[in-house]
Structure 1
């Protein structure tokens, strides 16, 4: 009886070996389907502590875990002291930024590296990377225009509205009571002024796309912009040369 049990046990073990080998073969086959793509590109939406905008990334694999990256951003930049307020004497007035000289937009372009910390083990896994970039930053200022209430030379009982570029030295614009609301947004784009600078960025990204050839990623980090000449945003507050912002970016793209 014991000899029969031993025979059955040996036979069972011998039958299990091919099954285990087959499972290992399947695992290898599954691993072999994880193709190493050489190129990738993605675009996304960026939210940072002083505005929002759009981003673009282009990557080239240097090794299986390291990539060279092209980084391009176009984002808005707001002053921390700016806020909207209406004219308290006109209920139908529109809120405006009192004391704001310029709207500011940043165009960044640079190169960097991306290093994989934890690769994606399965299709439903998450790949964790850290990224760093550096390059040129260009601030573009667009002057602010306001609808200003001025005296009517033909009728002293009524005031008229004039659209003027905001000037803190203009007597008609030195009081909130004289501002009816913001002027046309697109007015002033022919008066853009550049302020060149540099930037650096460090981030952690999480790539969680369900398909190998597609990119769905969340990136979060800090970006520092420096301008030799302070960018004029507000009239009654100090304008800075250095801007530090935390950001979150959602990216979608593909690999090939």
Structure 2
């Protein structure tokens, strides 16, 4: 949460101030909040690393919008193992990835209109829709000894590396993200999102916007991410998304 706050201050406030500068030749323009637009976004959030996911946004002239998010959720207690094997590392005790696909419908309200000579507009947003959680096993590479005393290596789910399924096994590093895709399972849920959007006009009806807000995800069953922690059905997220798009 602290990182999220500093990102908002460092990136959001300067962009907002820049958008307030007025040009020398005023021109009448339709408010961006009343025009349709589309944009692609890059996300960072409190439940992920620097790159948290991607978004596609389509807004309509009646102030409604549809949005599609694909984000990664980590447990706040995750940390890389202090032990490494040949320079490779892994997340200690991580059992599953949790990816979220969120199609949503929402409405926005103009809180600060764009002036006639351009600048910044500020919109409030609220949206809701299903959350499709994708729980995929976290794989690690291990070195182990077989029944004949031979030393072998393979990639297995973290759960197998922790339950002594392999004799004298040592975790040697993180496995491929694509390992275990066939074992992924879908966990349906629902979410609610509230946000503020700072929108900055650029050239030829292109725009840059910064959306910052909070999301609550509720899943139909508890999702287990880390070993020896209580699985949760509810996850809260603070986020910042940078959109690049075009207005019509």
**If the length of structure 2 is used for normalisation, what is the TM-score?**
0.80
Q: CA RMSD in A?
A: 2.4
Aligned equivalent of 2:38: 41
After TM superposition, give the deviation of residue 109 of structure 1 in Å: 0.8
Give structure 1 stretches of 5+ with no counterpart.
1-25
| Distance in 2 of aligned mates of 1:213 and 1:226 | 37
| Distance in 2 of aligned mates of 1:179 and 1:87 | 9
After TM superposition, give the deviation of residue 163 of structure 1 in Å: 1.8
Q: Which one of 68, 72, 80 corresponds to residue 72 of structure 1?
A: 68
- The alignment covers a number of residue pairs equal to 219
| Distance in 1 of aligned mates of 2:182 and 2:54 | 22
Check if 1:97 corresponds to 2:129.
no
How do 1:38-187 and structure 2 match up within 5 A?
38-51=35-48, 52-62=52-62, 67-87=63-83, 90=85, 92-155=86-149, 159-167=151-159, 170-171=163-164, 178-187=170-179
After TM superposition, give the deviation of residue 173 of structure 1 in Å: 7.0
After TM superposition, give the deviation of residue 255 of structure 1 in Å: 1.5
| Distance in 2 of aligned mates of 1:212 and 1:131 | 25
| Distance in 1 of aligned mates of 2:246 and 2:173 | 44
Q: Which one of 196, 214, 227 corresponds to residue 188 of structure 2?
A: 196
Superposed CA deviations along residues 212-248 of structure 1, whole A, max 9, x for unmatched, are 7222101111111011201121121112111111000
Structure 1 moving runs of 4+ over 3 Å: 33-38, 152-156, 172-175
**If the length of structure 1 is used for normalisation, what is the TM-score?**
0.78
SS state at 1:190 partner: helix
Give structure 2 stretches of 5+ with no counterpart.
1-24
